[in-house]
Amino acid sequence: MISGSVLPPPKAYSSAPVTSTNTGNSQILTEAGNSLKHPTGPEFQFHANEGTYVLRDDFQLATPPPHPSEAPTASTNPLSTSIPPLVSGTRLSIIITSDKKAPPVLYNLNTSVPNFSTYSIKEQEESRPSQDTNANSSDVVSQPLSTGSDKKAPAFGSTNVYLNAGNGVKEGAKRKKPKTNMMKTSSSFVSRVVPHEALSRRLNERDPDSMLAFANINRSLQWLDLTSSSYFKSEHLTKILFTKAHMLCHDLNIVTKGSNHLDLVAGSSLADIVWYEPFSVRYNRINKNGMINPSPVIDVKWIPGSENLFLAAHLDGNLIVYDKERDDAVFVPENGLANGFGKIDGDGATMLRINKSINSTNQKTNPVASWKISDQKINSFSFSPDCQHLAVASQDGSLRIIDYLKEKLLDLFRSYYGGLTCVCWSPDGKYVLSGGQDDLITIWSLAERRIVARCPGHTAFVSAVAFDPWRCNQKNYRFGSVGEDGKLLLWDFNYNTLSKPKAVVERLRNSITSSVPLTRHRTDSLQTSRLRSNSSLTTNGTPNSDEVEHPMISRTQTAELPPVMTKTISDDPLCGLSFQEDCIVTSCSVGHVRIWNRPKEGTGEP
Amino acid sequence: MSSLFKNIRSKGNIGGSASTSSANKKEPAVQLTPLEKLLQDAPPLKDDSRNRIFGLENFGSTCYGSSILQCLFYSIPFREQVINFPARSSPEQVIRGENGQLRLVPTVPFPQTPEQLAKAKAQTTTTVTVPTTRPSIKPEDKESQEYKKKQILNKGPLWALRYDNASSYGMKESLYTCMKDLFEAICMNQERTGIIAPYKFYEILRSTIHETWGGSQHQDAHEFLNLLLNSVVDTVEATAKEIEAVQGKEGVATENGTISTAINAVEKQSISKAPPNSRWVHEIFEGTLTSETKCLTCENTSHRDEPFLDLSVDLDAHSSVTACLNRFSQQEMLRERDKFFCDNCGGLQEAEKRMKIKRLPKILALHLKRFRYTEDMQRMYKLFHRITYPEQLRLFNTTADAEDPDRLYDLYAVVVHIGAGPYHGHYVSVIKTPEHGWLLFDDELVEPVDKSFVMKFFGDKSNLACAYVLFYQETTAEAVKEQQLAEGRAAVTKMAKEALPVKDTLPFGLPLSLKTNGFMLHHITSPTPTSPTEDPTSVLPDLTHAITAPHSSSDVHPISPSAHVQTFTSPQSPPDQAQSNKERKLMEKDAAKVEKAAAKEAKAMKKDESVRQKLAMKTAAADARTTMENSKKVESPIGKRDSGTRNIFSTLNNQMVSSAKPLLDQPLLPNGKLSTPPGPNMATVGAPESSIPSSSMNGIPSSTQSALANYPASSSLAANPSASTPSSINPSLTQDYSGSGMSAFSRFRQGSRSLKHRPKFWPGSTSSTVNPPVPAKASNNEHAAEQPVNGSAAENRADDYAVDDSEDGSTGATQHKPAIQNIPRSAVEGPSDNSVHDEKLNKKRTSRFSLRRKGSNMLSFSTGSDR
């Protein structure tokens, strides 16, 4: 049969440098296995202060061809106005079932101060050994992280009796598994499930510290063991092929992880959400056929500390909390308005419309809670380490900080221009990073409620940002970013050594700037209703600090941070980045996954 | 008379749909183009030039012109100035010439009445039973631009702009006045939409610039923009001077009375006697670049300002417009041969140079330099680099003392180039209109599109369509926020209106492309049924709306509870479902009744209109005759137009290897089922097909039809597969692509001065792809030679835009069906003497088809899936 690949225009002029890439392989739509290579050479390494990162593995995930029942994408016409199916690049959800390699816990859960204001990383470091065991033990015992102490905010939804009424046993007991066995299902949603021939053997012999990962590509979802020692490394543990749905996002639950149990939640382009347990090969479909919300799920994450609640961001601007075990039902908003935004009160941008509160008494079925933040596309969201805040990046260029326990919108920041594509929190919860279509990564301070720095360096849209918790310490935050330019950039951020633009320096000299008042402001912020006056913040132009919305600050008045390492690591747009204890994992839009070993001279422990 | 036409048009395209719908006994439903659907809700026309959307006819390869002219038309500040300078014509002046003759008259008659069609059918010899299925026009063919354009041209109305109105506002004929006439013809038109054929504009273009422009030769859109803007600047400045001169010396008699007319016109509009603004083009498009050159010897920095009307940026693979602009302003080392003459040191020194933007223009036109020149092959090639462009933009490369360095720009127009190389290709533009959102302007065809459509043209190896020129207009953050809110609101209300039951997971299910101008919701890959009778979308919205009526009025839940009732049994008890089923059936009946009633009414109206039309036609007979004469004169361009485009795009096809799409071989019936294996069906379908298109062509001036007959001949003339390399390269042009920072200016200057030089695109060179020889199948035509070996691409489809094709390879004579391109080889249009030939072809195709079926998708996927 014809290979059916859409090749670039054949080189009419023999030396015409059409931008050919080596992804010609991946474009071929015949199904093949994953391939694994180990290229070496200077172009497969990059250097940073701490040493050289060397490429360890170079995977190419098999791209599945379209399902036979699916009508061929008829667009021979590049001007066809029909909307193509939503696709996302390959992203990875990585987990290690044992706790040995857990990232350092930089967010102090057990302090008596119920916020992160006076917290300093140094203190944390000193008390780390004891902390570690605490944290680890809490993992093992599977207590929700956020209820470490009395003074902490209650776990999400735990106050709602109705919500927890039906919940089963928590600790010790067997984990709940999804209802349907994927291998035996007759549903047309899943096309095929392909477990590895030697799956049980592989699982039994698996190193408990092994790095398990789920990767989505096109309409397949693969379960992989990425540990370096694995013999079968390139071969999937299980591969699931969906008929039409493309899994756009997925997340693994660290609360319920076990050596024989993992809970994966995956959001699809058809609005369905799948809860999948890979060891038993069982799954549930949630929001089946878009019953609750018909728009595709762009991002999905387990709510920190929760065993069964996860948050899904739908393309139409809705954030919906689902319970993995509850059934779907037609959703009627509980605020009297049909699906929110029919009438805009005041400024439509600064609202968090609660269509169903987590505290609602009607908790028989999904959704557990439903919020609408805007009419614009949501691109990404991230939970803060304090398990209280949520940062949402949206296509209209807005970054929203939401207190999801209180269901309140706290801040709305604006990108320099263009949409915001990705967002993440620093390990200590102080800073938020956003990457956008202005090729910039922007650092925002939560406490100061303002922009801290802009980081130019990418030459295309930024697609993913992540902190490297193993290289964050009291002096310095290390974070990385990947973009559509195929580049990986590493950055070192130190608040005190930021080169501030002249205009700001002048102003700051004349007003309070040191860290002490900042602290005070932060504690103030929680004790009072965030009323404060800080003349250094007048660059905002908003004297009223109750204002949720923060206007864009001029480039001339914002610090700029350059990267410490820039490297083009892919010929294709990159879309995924993850820091692990011994490596960095990057993935690109066409299924190319690369694992880079950290430098041998220490893993960055301070 | 124009109001009559308005009435007819507002009833919808009745005649047009008759030619495409199945031959049912009942009246076919009115079929509106997507644009018309969009305009249905538009407020009534006003004289203030808003709300009109017109396509521009393509005379051969004038797409470079149409796309740029549309972009300029929708650059509101520019349009306003053009209309008002030197004076604004009244609608009367536009519609009637100086001798009082009605001239803004559509030359393409309005859609045919069913009687006319019936007559035409009766005249043909073959039976005209068009079966309910037309497997030879595949649904995806109907999606092709060619087909859609054909429909549009059939439908009309089309206004041919052959007049020159310059004297009425006191100017001599020039490119500017032709453009002004064009803009005015659009703005003052009594109709909301249609097609304009700007003959005069291209005539003047040819005569004032160079003979290669405005003909059938391909040109570069950016170059056209450049020369047009420069021409406008020259004309405006000259005119302003004249006006000023006359204003200054009131008593002095002028040589040509025309300027005094202008003054009178100006005075009529009680514009102050202040000198007219001659710099408005500069005020809109011009920015200032500063080149800061720092001599490395004496550390002295010298500045030099240079104005620009647009910025041409070099491209890097996988980058964004932001990054390209930053690169543009990167530091450049001047050394060796490029040493800089420092005034301070008094000698050639090494220097660092960088160019920054000192003053930002109101409208920023960004030219992406996708066409690069290669020394080796001595020709130009196209870069398919992926260049992402954001919806809003701010520039980083401003000088420190620039005022408003954080100026925000908003993307409002994109000129897209489709093609494998610079020498042939097609330009379209995607423009954000203030009243109607994003629209795609593809010559005659105008279609509303989704915002995500705009972002499809970043450029890719697999996509021939890439953004080429970007237009950004200045805006404020508040305005953008307002815009976003409005978009969101519109999307929500649209979603509510179009609320359809949730899709099921089966393919070929309900048609569910929820297209909103804000964001996309459902996506399907199955083609939407296009037969009007089977179009569920016309029924379903009524359904859900009706059913949800009791629940809520304006705020309709996008997935209304009862809509779910129809598809899910679990949440609903059986009696409820039966109830809702009943309701649904009732609704369906009602909807059908309404449709029938509407159709009957339309028919009655048509009859009235046809009578009135005949009268109108008689009164306009004189005009029509003259226009017919004129059209005959331009018959060759029209003929060439077809051949030209065929040429270009067939070669485009050849360059793409098709992807395996076995399912395409199984044409999709409108009711969503796969058609039965073709076998004898194909042959019978083939023959009757031949007559239909010819009858539908009655609407086209006979000149076109005869041109069609001429087509095979003319195409061979036009086709020139032998790669002709330009013998000598114009060094000034070479410089343009050197990629230096000065390139913007050199282009700017070149554009203004060196128009006499050889244009970018060399005449006579077409795609020089080396095409493997094809088993000759009765083809004496060049195109047959361009078939790819595997025979799976169908070059004869000659879609302008085909990226890949999995039609069977085909044969000679039927290749050049210009009109309804997507009836593949089996169907014959036009000259009937080909029918015998085609019978053979039908059979061949049949057999090939069935072979295809054997090796069909099942095999390919099963091998894959067994693993």
Are B558 and B657 contained in the same domain? no
B261 in a domain, yes or no?
no
Q: Can you tell me the mean pLDDT for B318-341?
A: 85
Q: CA-to-CA distance for B303 and A43, rounded, in angstroms?
A: 40
Sign of CA dihedral B705, B709, B710, B716: positive
Q: Can you tell me the mean pLDDT for B157-168?
A: 77
Contact indicator for A286, A272 with CB cutoff of 8 Å: yes
Closest-approach residue (CA) in chain A for B378: A13
Are B76 and B159 contained in the same domain? yes
Contacts of B680 (CB under 8 A, 6+ apart): none
Mean pLDDT over each residue of chain A, to the nearest integer: 75
pLDDT digits (tens, 9 = 90+) for B296-306: 888 888 888 99
Q: CA-to-CA distance for B619 and B610, rounded, in angstroms?
A: 14
Q: CA-to-CA distance for A544 and A524, rounded, in angstroms?
A: 15
A197 in a domain, yes or no?
yes
Are B80 and B155 contained in the same domain? yes
A531 burial via Cβ count (<10 Å: 0-12, 13-18, 19+): exposed
Q: Which of A572, A457, A488, A578 is nearest to A47 (CA)?
A: A488
Instruction: State yes or no: is B63 an active-site residue.
Output: yes
Q: Can you tell me the mean pLDDT for A277-287?
A: 91
Q: Which of B198, B221, B244 is the last residue of a domain?
A: B221
Tally the domains of chain B: 4
Ranges A123-127, A135-139, A302-306, B518-522, most confident: A302-306
Residue B43: domain span:
2-221
Contact indicator for B212, B759 with CB cutoff of 8 Å: yes
Contacts of A302 (CB under 8 A, 6+ apart): A251, A252, A253, A254, A255, A263, A265, A309, A310, A311
pLDDT band at residue A69 using 50, 70 and 90 as cut-offs: confident
For the whole model, what pTM was predicted? 0.67
A138 in a domain, yes or no?
yes
How far from A116 is each of A135, A149, A423, A497, A519, CA to CA, in Å?
17, 14, 20, 22, 10
Closest-approach residue (CA) in chain A for B524: A85
Least confident segment among B46-55, B79-88, B430-439: B46-55
Contacts of A236 (CB under 8 A, 6+ apart): A34, A194, A196, A222, A223, A224
Determine the pLDDT at residue B143: 65
Q: CA-to-CA distance for B843 and B826, rounded, in angstroms?
A: 9
Residue scoring higher pLDDT (B51 or B537): B51
**Chain A residues lying within 8 Å of B447, measured CB to CB:** 81
Q: CA-to-CA distance for B783 and A126, rounded, in angstroms?
A: 78
**Chain B residues lying within 8 Å of A454, measured CB to CB:** none
Q: Which of A504, A487, A398, A493 is nearest to A439 (CA)?
A: A487
Determine the pLDDT at residue A119: 31
List B residues 797-816 in contact with A (Cβ-Cβ < 8 A): 799, 801-805
List B residues 704-743 in contact with A (Cβ-Cβ < 8 A): none
Are B481 and B525 contained in the same domain? no
Ranges A41-45, A145-149, B624-628, B676-680, most confident: A41-45
Q: Do B656 and A9 touch (CB under 8 A)?
A: yes
pLDDT digits (tens, 9 = 90+) for B730-758: 443 333 333 344 444 444 444 444 444 44
Best to test chain B binding among A21, A35, A79 (most B CBs inside 10 Å) = A79
pLDDT digits (tens, 9 = 90+) for A421-461: 999 999 999 999 999 999 999 999 999 899 999 999 999 99
B268 in a domain, yes or no?
no
Q: Which of B395, B393, B426, B70 is nearest to B218 (CA)?
A: B426
- CATH (domain of B336): 3.90.70.10
A134 in a domain, yes or no?
yes
Q: Which of B596, B612, B630 is the last residue of a domain?
A: B630
3-state secondary structure A57-71: EEEECCCCCCCCCCC
Q: Which of B367, B385, B417, B426 is catalytic?
A: B426
Determine the pLDDT at residue A14: 28
Q: CA-to-CA distance for A218 and A224, rounded, in angstroms?
A: 16
Looking at the complex, report in whole angstroms how far the Cα of residue A421 sits from the nearest Cα belonging to chain B. Answer: 12
Q: In what order do the strands lie in the sheet with A398-403?
A: A378-383, A389-394, A398-403, A408-414
pLDDT digits (tens, 9 = 90+) for A566-586: 999 989 999 999 999 889 999
Q: Can you tell me the mean pLDDT for B789-817?
A: 38
Percent helix, strand, coil in chain B, to 5, is: 45, 15, 40
Pairing of strands B193-197, B53-56: parallel
Closest-approach residue (CA) in chain B for A13: B377
B330 in a domain, yes or no?
yes
Are B206 and B324 contained in the same domain? no
Q: Which of A16, A77, A18 is nearest to B426 (CA)?
A: A77
Q: Which residues pair with A194 in a beta bridge?
A: A239
Comparing CB atoms, the residue among B34, B507, B792 nearest residue A71 is B507
Q: How many CB atoms lie within 10 A of CB B615?
A: 12
Percent helix, strand, coil in chain A, to 5, is: 15, 30, 55
Least confident segment among A5-19, A276-290, B306-320, B574-588: A5-19
Determine the pLDDT at residue B421: 82
pLDDT digits (tens, 9 = 90+) for B342-379: 777 788 888 888 889 999 999 999 999 998 888 776 78
pLDDT band at residue A207 using 50, 70 and 90 as cut-offs: confident
**Chain A residues lying within 8 Å of B559, measured CB to CB:** 290-291, 293-294, 330
Q: Do B377 and A332 touch (CB under 8 A)?
A: no
Pairing of strands B437-442, B445-448: antiparallel
Are B713 and B847 contained in the same domain? yes
Residue A179: domain span:
62-68+84-327
Contact indicator for B236, B85 with CB cutoff of 8 Å: yes
**Chain B residues lying within 8 Å of A80, measured CB to CB:** 143
Q: How many CB atoms lie within 10 A of CB A472?
A: 23
Q: Do B660 and A338 touch (CB under 8 A)?
A: no
Q: Do A315 and B863 touch (CB under 8 A)?
A: no
Q: Do A31 and B523 touch (CB under 8 A)?
A: no
Contacts of B460 (CB under 8 A, 6+ apart): B384, B386, B466
Best to test chain B binding among A25, A26, A35, A83 (most B CBs inside 10 Å) = A83
Euclidean distance between the first and the last CA atom of chain A, given in angstroms as a whole number:
58
A354 in a domain, yes or no?
no
Tally the domains of chain A: 1
Determine the pLDDT at residue B131: 41
Euclidean distance between the first and the last CA atom of chain B, given in angstroms as a whole number:
69
Comparing CB atoms, the residue among B320, B523, B567 nearest residue A439 is B320
Determine the pLDDT at residue B546: 41
Are B481 and B586 contained in the same domain? no
Least confident segment among A25-34, A556-565, B336-345, B711-720: B711-720
Backbone phi, then psi, for A189, in 5-degree steps?
-70, -45
Assembly ipTM: 0.79
Residue B451 tokens read as: 């915002």
Q: Do B556 and A486 touch (CB under 8 A)?
A: no
B536 burial via Cβ count (<10 Å: 0-12, 13-18, 19+): middle
pLDDT exceeds 90 at position A273? yes
Closest-approach residue (CA) in chain B for A349: B485
Q: Which of B250, B275, B246, B274 is nearest to B259 (CA)?
A: B246
Check if B321 contacts A (Cβ < 8 Å): no
Provide the b/e sequence for A171-189 (b: ≥16 CB within 10 Å). eeeebbbbebebeebeeeb
Looking at the complex, report in whole angstroms how far the Cα of residue B391 sits from the nearest Cα belonging to chain A. Answer: 6
Q: CA-to-CA distance for B718 and A19, rounded, in angstroms?
A: 31
Mean pLDDT over each residue of chain B, to the nearest integer: 63
List B residues 129-188 in contact with A (Cβ-Cβ < 8 A): 139-140, 143-145
pLDDT digits (tens, 9 = 90+) for A448-501: 899 999 999 999 999 999 999 998 887 889 999 999 999 999 999 998 888 777
Check if B34 contacts A (Cβ < 8 Å): yes
Q: Which of A415, A457, A409, A459 is nearest to A433 (CA)?
A: A415
Contacts of B476 (CB under 8 A, 6+ apart): B408
Are B658 and B536 contained in the same domain? no
Looking at the complex, report in whole angstroms how far the Cα of residue A382 sits from the nearest Cα belonging to chain B. Answer: 22
Residue B770 tokens read as: 């080396």
A157 in a domain, yes or no?
yes
Determine the pLDDT at residue B846: 45
The answer to whether the bond into B86 is cis (omega within 30° of 0) is yes
Are B178 and B115 contained in the same domain? yes
- DSSP letters of B240-269? HHHHHHHHH-TTSPPSSHHHHHHHHHHHHT
Determine the pLDDT at residue A276: 93
Determine the pLDDT at residue B494: 74
A205 in a domain, yes or no?
yes
Determine the pLDDT at residue B45: 62
A602 in a domain, yes or no?
no
Are B56 and B161 contained in the same domain? yes
Q: Do A19 and B461 touch (CB under 8 A)?
A: yes
Q: In what order do the strands lie in the sheet with A190-195?
A: A92-96, A211-217, A220-225, A238-242, A190-195
Q: Which of B485, B511, B541 is the last residue of a domain?
A: B485
Contact indicator for B262, B86 with CB cutoff of 8 Å: yes
**Chain A residues lying within 8 Å of B323, measured CB to CB:** 439, 458-460, 485
Q: CA-to-CA distance for B614 and B619, rounded, in angstroms?
A: 9
Comparing CB atoms, the residue among B420, B465, B567 nearest residue A79 is B465
Closest-approach residue (CA) in chain B for A292: B559
Least confident segment among A111-125, A375-389, A497-511: A111-125
> In B367-476, which residue ranges form alpha helices assigned H by DSSP?
451-454
pLDDT digits (tens, 9 = 90+) for B258-278: 555 555 555 555 444 556 778
Q: How many CB atoms lie within 10 A of CB B76?
A: 16
Looking at the complex, report in whole angstroms how far the Cα of residue B469 sits from the nearest Cα belonging to chain A. Answer: 17
Q: Do A341 and B489 touch (CB under 8 A)?
A: yes
**Chain B residues lying within 8 Å of A73, measured CB to CB:** 525
B646 in a domain, yes or no?
yes
A195 in a domain, yes or no?
yes
Determine the pLDDT at residue A161: 67
Closest-approach residue (CA) in chain A for B390: A418
How far from B11 is each of A483, B14, B108, B699, CA to CA, in Å?
51, 8, 18, 18
How far from A601 is each of A103, A597, A605, CA to CA, in Å?
18, 11, 10
Q: Do A437 and B453 touch (CB under 8 A)?
A: no
Pairs of CB atoms within 8 A across A/B: 337
pLDDT exceeds 70 at position B528? no
Check if B474 contacts A (Cβ < 8 Å): no
Give the gyration radius of chain B's Cα atoms: 29
Determine the pLDDT at residue B599: 67
Comparing CB atoms, the residue among A8, A64, A291 nearest residue B502 is A291
Check if B658 contacts A (Cβ < 8 Å): yes
Q: Can you tell me the mean pLDDT for A92-109?
A: 74
pLDDT > 70: what percent of chain B? 43
Comparing CB atoms, the residue among B143, B323, B394 nearest residue A74 is B143
Instruction: State yes or no: is B426 an active-site residue.
Output: yes
